[in-house]
A and B are shown apart, each in its own frame.
Chain A
Amino acid sequence: MADKQIACATCQPKGLCGGKGLLTLKEGAWTNNPLSIQVLGICSALAVTNRLENSLVMGAALIFVCVGSNLLVSLLRKRTPHRIRMIAEVAIIATFVILFDQFLKAFYWDMSKQLGPYVGLIITNCIVMGRAEAFALQNPPILSIVDGIANGIGYAVILAIIGFFRELLGTGEILGRTIPVFSEWYTPNQLMILAPGAFVALGIVIGIFNAIKGPEPEENK
């Protein structure tokens, strides 16, 4: 995959992302989707997906944190001593998480209450840490931003899918509104918004993704 270059028409002349922009975007959002393929960061994916609204906010939070921390880690990559890079990364990530948490508390108090500790837990979300460690440390800032956006979107989309189905099947509503025909005949299955529904839903989503991608030789097994 790595040697296949896809020309990125807008930024190649300036040499900003060396034509790797689109490839990075595709890697993060689809081929190497952090949630369904690499199975990282599932804690929050399970916890906040009981409603579509929560899922969307969480997705936005992750995109913000991932982009911000990737950018900063990348900017500082030549100045960070190798031995303390981990703690530096954690400190940078925590800073962005605190920013987002304070933003939620200031403008969306109800949402902040609902998400509870899970906003703080973005710090230990392996996706953010993984991208900072694996990508931003080796790549220039602009490309790192693209990578952050790609992985954030990959995560947010899966989250939205799971949130959509769990809310639909668990309460018969979407975003707290009833759907004209569906809500009348459908009997909500409470199990879907409780814990077991989350595990089963994510298991099925991962299974479906594997089926779509087809059998692939797993190297790291």
Chain B
Amino acid sequence: MTETSAWVIFIAAIFTNNILLTNFLGMCSFIACSGQIKTSLGLGTAVIFVMIMTTIINYVIYHFVLVPLGLVHLQFIVFIAVIAAFVQLVEMFVERFSPKLYFALGIFLPLITVNCAILGASLFMIIRNYSFMQSIGFGLGAGIGWAVAIVLLAGLRQKMRYSHVPKCFEGVAIAMVVTGVLAMTFMGFAGMVTIQ
């Protein structure tokens, strides 16, 4: 695994191994917040930022604190605490220094703590044994991939408001089916680059 360059992992995380469309992570907010392009864009930006930062922090903590101390089995609780603390910190920081950004981004920040894509990215990083540079590439790529997917779905759902969907499929059900089609199109990228 170590010979794969960070750049390849970055591209793969966006297209071939999209964290949402092939690993199903971050579905809850994906379905809930994909009503409008503008909202989903805001959430997507927040996810990119938090994901890359928490991946880096978790990498450092895992390899320099947990492994030497033999506390690897505590990784879940440590990771989730790091994510929650980081989100809280960012929220306070943004609120203090950039009220404008806070209003644009603020409501999405608490949502991100429970976004499984963030925790998932950290766990994948450990499972796949990424080096430091690879982790940065993966964190950034996974975040962008997630944002791309949610903006795409938001666009489709906006159009779908004018189409006749069977009564029982309205809302979430049809969104899932559309996501399935979206995932199928992303499968077209398969084979371009491969990571695990």
Residues of A bordering B, CB below 8 Å: 39-44, 46-47, 87, 90-91, 94-95, 97-98, 101-102, 116-117, 120-121, 123-126, 129, 191, 194-200, 202-204, 206-208, 210-211, 215
A98 touches B74 (CB 8 A): yes
Instruction: Please tell me if B89 contacts chain A, counting CB pairs below 8 Å.
Output: no
B119 contact from A40, A87, A120, A195, Cβ within 8 A = A120
Judge if B106 is at the interface, Cβ distance under 8 Å: no
Taking CB atoms, residues of chain A closer than 8 Å to B187 are 194-196
Shortest CB–CB separation between residue A172 and chain B, in angstroms? 21
**Given the complex, which residues of B lie within 8 Å of A123, measured CB to CB?**
76, 80, 119
Min C-beta distance of B139 to chain A, whole Å = 15
Q: Give the tally of cross-chain contacts (CB within 8 A).
A: 118
Which residues from B are CB-within-8-Å of A91? 77, 81
The answer to whether residues A101 and B114 also contact, given A198-B24, A211-B168 and a CB cut-off of 8 A, is no
B141 near A: Cβ within 8 Å? no
CA distance A124 to B175 in the complex (A): 22
- Interface size range on B against A: 35 or more
**Which residues of B are interface residues toward A (Cβ below 8 A)?**
21-28, 31, 73-77, 80-81, 84, 114-116, 119-120, 123-124, 127, 166-170, 172-177, 179-181, 183-184, 187
Q: Is there an interface contact between A94 and B167, defined as CB atoms closer than 8 Å?
A: no
Q: Which residues of A contact B166 (CB under 8 A)?
A: 207
Given A41-B28, A98-B77, A204-B173, residue A196 in contact with residue B180 (CB < 8 A):
yes
Q: Which residues of B contact A198 (CB under 8 A)?
A: 24, 180
Whole-angstrom CA separation of A87 from B175 in the bound complex? 32
Distance (Å) between the CB of B33 and the closest chain A CB? 13
- Knowing A39-B172, A195-B183, the reply to whether A87 touches B84 (Cβ < 8 A) is yes
Q: Which residues of A contact B84 (CB under 8 A)?
A: 87, 90
- By the criterion CB–CB under 8 Å, are B73 and A207 in contact? no
Question: Can you list 25 A-B pairs, Cβ within 8 angstroms, ordered by A?
Answer: A40-B28, A42-B27, A42-B31, A43-B28, A94-B76, A117-B127, A120-B119, A120-B123, A121-B25, A123-B80, A123-B119, A124-B80, A124-B114, A124-B115, A126-B28, A191-B184, A195-B21, A195-B22, A199-B176, A199-B179, A199-B180, A203-B177, A206-B176, A207-B168, A215-B167
- Beyond A117-B120, A125-B116, A196-B184, 12 additional contacts (C-beta under 8 Å) are A39-B172, A42-B24, A47-B25, A94-B76, A97-B76, A98-B76, A98-B77, A121-B123, A196-B181, A200-B177, A202-B176, A204-B173
Given known contacts A98-B73, A98-B76, A123-B76, A200 and B119 CB-to-CB distance under 8 angstroms:
no
Chain B residues near A124 (CB-CB < 8 A): 80, 114-116, 119
List A contacts of B22 (CB < 8 A): 195
A97 to B116, CA, bound (A): 14
Question: Given the known A-B contacts A196-B183, A199-B179, A207-B168, are A47 and B76 also in contact in the complex, defined by CB atoms under 8 Å?
Answer: no
Given the complex of chains A and B, what is the CA–CA distance between A197 and B31 in angstroms?
17
